Structure formats: structure tokens, C-alpha cells
Copies of this chain bind each other. A is one copy, B any other.
Amino acid sequence: MSGIPKTLENLIDEFSRLPGIGRRSAKRIAFHLLHKTPEDSKALAKALVDFVENVHFCSICHSITENDPCEICADPRRQRSIICVVEEVSDLIAIEATNSYRGLYHVLGGVLDPLSGIGPEEITIDSLVERVKSGDIDEVVIAANPNTEGDTTAMFIAKILAPFGVEVTRIARGLPVGGDLEFADKSTLSRAIENRVPQL
């Protein structure tokens, strides 16, 4: 567009690639940065680079971490006989914020969804089975979202873990059905964890 320098155009393009940011918002952000000091923009640029260079997935639980294994997997004060299975890291963070769970985690990185072609190989189910096989795990709490895909995934995990004599539970349906775990309020989420019931 005439009158817009290329580097500004490019910045607007990059911002509009982000989720929830359209071209108009991207433009607004770029013009906002224009009126700020260069240091403000550089701080954001640095945060981005630091983030991609330092944040990795934990080789045990597949959560995100700067060190491997992650803070939670490496913490000797956590209860090591129980694993809470979540779809995404954001779910783990929501549960941690309740302060009502002190065990370990396993991040699936998605959920079984045959219609979208997401099978057990696309998520970290094999790695969960290995953890259950090789560790002293008494219980696996499934904290998948309370929707069809979550139900399918919970059922699949309960069946695949059945031979290993581990108790498979699921967090209670205190959560609104069809809702999204990440956005539940802390007390609903706490109650759902307390009221977990056997899956099979």
C-alpha cells in the first residue's frame, strides 16, 4: 500500500498471523509500537527469541520446560504414584493453579479425534503406557475435556492401561459439558478433581 513502509507492512503481516488478531488489530498494534521507544519493541522481540530458544517439551511428561525433566517431574515433593493426564499444557497450568493436586502429569498434546485423523500415534499415549509399565504408578487421573473427544480418549486410555493393574479415574463432571477445561473457575475445577470416579 502506498505510504506504508515495507517493514511496517511486514510487521502488520506477522501480527495478523497470530490467533485472534485481524489486520485492523495488527495495524493498531504496529502504530502503537511506533509511538513507543524502540526498546519496547525489542523487549517483545527478545521475549519471542528467548521463548523459542529456551522452552522445550519435557521428555517425561511432555509439558513445556526450560530444563529437562521439567520442574514438576523433577520435584521430589510431588506424589510419584499418580499421573494426571491432560490434553494441553494450558490444562496443566489451570490444574496447578487450583493447588488441589500434588501428583505428576502427562500432557497428551491433543485428544483422540478419528474424524480429524488424530489417532493414538498423534498424541503421547505410547509414552504414557511406558510410564505406567515402568513406574510405580497406582492411579491415572484423566483430565481430558468433558466432550466427545475427551470421552473417547478417556475410554481408550482406560482400556489400554487395564492390563497393568493401575486404577484409571476421570475428573468429575463438575465441569459444564461441552465446555473447555482451561476456562473453568478454580473451585469448579478443584471439586472435579476431588470427585473423580473410576473410568470403566
Q: Measuring CB to CB, which residues of chain A are less than 8 angstroms from any residue of chain B?
A: 1-8, 10-11, 13-15, 17-21, 25, 27-34, 38, 40-55, 63-66, 71-72, 88-90, 92-93, 96-97
Contact = CB atoms under 8 A, between A and B. Distances in A.
Contact of A54 (B7, B44, B63, B90): B7
B1 A19 contact: no
Nearest to A2: B96
B49 A41 contact: yes
**Closest 6 interchain pairs by CB?**
A38-B52, A45-B45, A45-B48, A3-B96, A14-B47, A14-B44
Contact of A55 (B7, B28, B65): B7
A152 to B, nearest CB: 21
Contacts of A29: 18-21
Contacts of A48: 11, 33, 41-42, 44-45, 48
Interface SS of chain A: helix
12 contacts: A5-B54, A5-B64, A10-B47, A10-B51, A11-B47, A14-B44, A17-B40, A21-B21, A41-B48, A41-B51, A42-B48, A45-B48
Contacts of A40: 17
Contact of A52 (B14, B27, B33, B63): B33
Nearest to A99: B2
A31 B88 contact: yes
Given A18-B44, A19-B32, A38-B52, 7 more contacts: A1-B93, A3-B71, A5-B66, A8-B51, A10-B51, A17-B44, A34-B89
